[in-house]
Amino acid sequence: MIVPPGSYVISKTVDLNRKSMCGAGRFRENQHKGVAYIRSGSKIDGPLFRNQGPVVENMYISGQGENDNKTVFDAYSYNSVFSNIHFSNIGRAIYADEILVNFTVKDCVFIQIGCGLYCNDSKNSYSTTARFIRNEFNNCGNAFVFRRNLNGATFQDNIFEFMSGDAVVASHIYDCNFIGNWWEKRRSTGTASITTAPDEKSDDPGYPIIRSTSFQQIMRCFAAGNKVTHGWRNIFNSLFHDARMGGVSVQEGAVVVREPTGRAVRLEPDLIAQQGDKWAYLPPFVIEAGKNSAGSAKGILLRTKGGPLALEDTEGDAFSGEISIAKGDGLYESYSLTRNAAGKPTVGMTGVSEMMINGEKVKLTTGIPQHFLWRQDKLSRGLGCFTTNQVITEGTIKLVTEYLLDNPLIQITVEDQGVRFDGLKHLNSYINTTKTRRQCTGFELYFVDAQGNPKTPTAFSMQMLTLNPSLLSS
C-alpha cells in the first residue's frame, strides 16, 4: 500500500489486512511538504492501524499530545519491520499483544511519545530476535517496554535523551546486545515508567539505563561502545555489581565480566581483579591452565620481563594470607607468613605438609626460615633484626629482638673445627595459657670446644623459623 505525499487524518481504525505500508518519506526540519503526513483524529477509538504487513516505512505520524492515550500501530509482531518513521505527540507508537519474533524497528524518530514500543506478551512466553537500530527518542516517556521476558535482542546506535521513564525495561533480559547507544539527560515531568520497579537499594545515583522488573535478571548480555551521562546510571561499567548488567561489558577501556548478584571480574590494561559488593559472596579466584583431550597440560608460566613478582593483600600492603598447594587425595602443602601474638609479622614463612600415616591425616612442620650469618669480622649478614648482638662471655652470644618470637625453631651450624653448639636459653620466655605459643624476645647461644670449655666461634650460620599456631593446629 502506497501513501502518496499529503496530509491525512485518521478518524477510524484502518485494518491493513497484512499489507505493507510505504509513504513518501518523513519530514525534516519541520517541513511537511512532499511527505506522507498522518494525524490522528481527536475522537478515534482504538489504534490508527492494525494488522500491518511485513514492512511499514517512510512517513510522519502525529497525535494530539504525549498523554492522549492513543496508539498508532496495533502491530503484528512476527517478521515485521518499522523503518524511517517519525512519531510525534502521541501516547504509544507501537503496541504488540504477543511476543516479538524477527521484529525490527530502525531509523525511526520518537518525539514527545509516551511509549515507543510496548510488548504485552499476552501468552506469557518471551520475545526474541528483535532488533532496534539507529532510533532516536527525545523528550519522551518510555522507549522499549516489555511486560515479560526479552531474549536475544539487539539494541544498536539508539539515542535516549531527555526521558522521564525507561529506555529499555523487561521482567527478564537475557542474551541481549547493547552496542553504540547513547543515554543523555533525564526530565522531571512527562510519562513515568509504565512498569513497577522492584525495591532497589543502589550504591550509585541515577536512573538505570536498562532495567529488569524481576530483581537481578539481566543475564548473559553483551555491551560495548555505549555512552551514558547526565542523570542515567551506567549499569554496564560500574564499580558496583548488584542489579547491574550480567554478562560482558567493554566500556571505557575496561572489560567487565559480571553476574548481577554483586560480583564481577574486571580487566584493565594494568589490572585483572575480582570484585564484589560488600554483601556479596566471593568464591576463590581461579586461573586455570588448559589441557588437551589426552590430558596433557603445560601448566602456567608467570613472566615478569625482569620486574618483581609481589603478593599483596591490598595495594601497598604485604601479603598475610595463606598459600596452599594441593598434593592430591585431599592433602595440601600450606604456607603462611607468620605473625606474633600482637599481629606483627615475624621471621620466616611457616609451612605445613599434610600426610596420611596409618590412615590418619597428620601435619608435618616445614617452611622457609630466615637465615643469619654471624661472624666476628665484618662479613656478618642478616643480623639487622637483632637489636642486641654481643659476646657476653667466652662462648656465650646474646641475640635480642624488639618483637616477640612465637614458637621459634633454631638450627645452628658452626664453621670452626673443634667448636660445637652447646644449647641455648630463651630470653623472657613465656608459654601462654592455651599452650599454643612459646614466646621469647631472643636467645643466649652457648658454644664449647672439644674439651667442653666455653669457646666463641669465629663464625656460625643460623636458621630461624617462627611457627604460626593457628596454621599448625590439628
* Each residue's pLDDT tens digit, 227-265: 999 999 999 988 888 888 999 999 888 999 999 989 999
pLDDT of residue 168: 97
pLDDT of residue 147: 95
The single-letter DSSP state of residue 342 is T
Beta pairing class for 14-15 and 49-50: parallel
pLDDT of residue 198: 58
pLDDT of residue 115: 98
Question: pLDDT below 50 — which residues of the chain?
Answer: 474
- How far apart, in whole angstroms, are the C-alpha atoms of residue 471 and residue 474? 9
Nearest to 150 by CA among 168, 134, 126, 132: 126
The single-letter DSSP state of residue 18 is T
pLDDT of residue 466: 86
Nearest to 277 by CA among 305, 307, 240, 314: 240
In this predicted model, what pLDDT tens digit does every residue of 163-218 receive, in sequence order? 999 999 999 999 999 999 999 999 999 999 988 765 556 677 899 999 999 988 99
> 447: which strand partners?
421
pLDDT of residue 120: 96
pLDDT of residue 471: 63
| Cβ pair 24, 53 in contact under 8 A | no
How many alpha carbons lie under 13 Å from residue 41 in its C-beta half-sphere? 14
pLDDT of residue 343: 73
CA triple 55-59-63, angle to 5 deg: 115
Cβ neighbours of residue 446 closer than 8 Å, sequence gap 6 or more: 395, 396, 421, 422, 423, 424, 425, 454
The verdict on pTM exceeding 0.75 is: yes
In this predicted model, what pLDDT tens digit does every residue of 377-414 receive, in sequence order? 989 999 988 999 999 999 999 999 988 888 899 999 99
What nine digits make up the cell of 108?
525511526
- How far apart, in whole angstroms, are the C-alpha atoms of residue 240 and residue 234? 10
Q: Euclidean distance between the first and final Cα of the chain, in Å?
A: 84
